[in-house]
Amino acid sequence: MIAKNIKGKSFKGCVSYVMNDTATILEAEGIWTDNTKNIIRSFAMQRSGRKEIKQPVGHIPISFSPEDKERMTDEFMVQLAKEYMHEMGIKNTQYIVVRHGNTENPHIHIVYNRINNDLKLISVNHDYKRNIKVCKKLKDKYNLTYGKGKEKVKREKLDNPDKVKYKVHDAIKAVLPDCKNPADLRLNLEKFGIEIDYKFKRGSNEIEGVSFRHDGVAFKGSEVDRKFSFGNLKKEFLKNLLDEDRRMEEKYQKERKEVEQKQQQAEQKTKQETPSTNRNLVILGVELSAEQEKVLRNGGVIFLENMNQTNGNGKFSSHVFLNDE
């Protein structure tokens, strides 16, 4: 059993990702689950009560070993998800538990609202350490298979220098997704009391190696794990930079689209409010044909498509008739 705690800004992006073609909703609390759009809307409504919170989205993928696949019924997965959330302090809030069937490892995704039902923020302080502790507790309680490689090692039974080695490993793994350069890695590892020494090529400022030190014990990056050699760390830095660029571009395009939509809506509103005896009736951005206007003015009903919602959130279609006004 391996879990990862992720914070995010957008319920739309998170829910859309989780609700893929293989998704099955196993459990939901405080959410309309008839379709993806209503799931997103349910989270957004409660989130709107604390608009100042920048990262209201909680996302927890939990993966189980293939050896435990036969035991992973829907009911057992829901039980594990609820116990995990309880132990992590995720209570009194909206959530969905979704099972995926697109990998060999049985896994679920928990999406929850960090703005709880009382509009208080659910803390994620020290969630990395708590996550390790909770996963171990549940694995031991239900005799679940420990993961392969370093995930299988029981840290509490280690002595130095192995104890330091695995602490360094877990700390790097935790902070690396947020690092875009060597300085970021150094600053983030300082929070764990871990120091970094970079080795430079002779006569240059180019880094060619790295070592990590804690409690007087030091390891080269490749000794901690091959993926933590400086060459591989550089690849992760570049990947994180590209991911950040992509997110910024997506944000820019989204904001640009919103500005264009507002401009279009303003133009349509101005057009609607401008008196003219030579144009047909316009309803929510849709100009009627002469025949449609004739039907309406004679007390009939017509069907209009692609009308603009008054709150600016897209378009809709509906039957239309004129009232006394």
- Helix locations, the chain, DSSP H: 11-18, 36-47, 74-87, 127-142, 162-175, 182-190, 221-224, 230-273, 290-297
- If you ran DSSP here, which 8-state letter would residue 198 be given? E
Matching residue, tokens 């997103």:
40
Q: Are 210 and 237 in contact (CB under 8 A)?
A: no
Beta-carbon contacts of 74 under 8 Å, excluding residues fewer than 6 positions away, are 24, 26, 99
Could you give phi then psi for residue 34, rounded to 5 degrees? Answer: -70, -25
Domain ranges (residues) in the chain: 2-150, 169-234, 247-320
- What pLDDT does residue 276 have? 53
Q: Report yes or no on whether pTM surpasses 0.75.
A: no
- If you ran DSSP here, which 8-state letter would residue 115 be given? B
- What pLDDT does residue 163 have? 86
Separation of alpha carbons 90 and 116, rounded Å: 9
Matching residue, tokens 């957004």:
44
Inter-helix orientation angle 74-87/127-142, to 10°: 140
* 2-150 carries CATH number 3.40.50.720: no
Angle at 144 between CA 139 and CA 150, to 5 degrees: 75
Separation of alpha carbons 284 and 309, rounded Å: 7
- What pLDDT does residue 96 have? 97
Q: Are 33 and 25 in contact (CB under 8 A)?
A: yes
- What pLDDT does residue 139 have? 92
Q: Which segments of the chain have a pLDDT < 50?
A: none
Q: For 208-239, what is each residue's pLDDT tens digit? A: 999 999 988 999 998 898 889 999 999 999 99
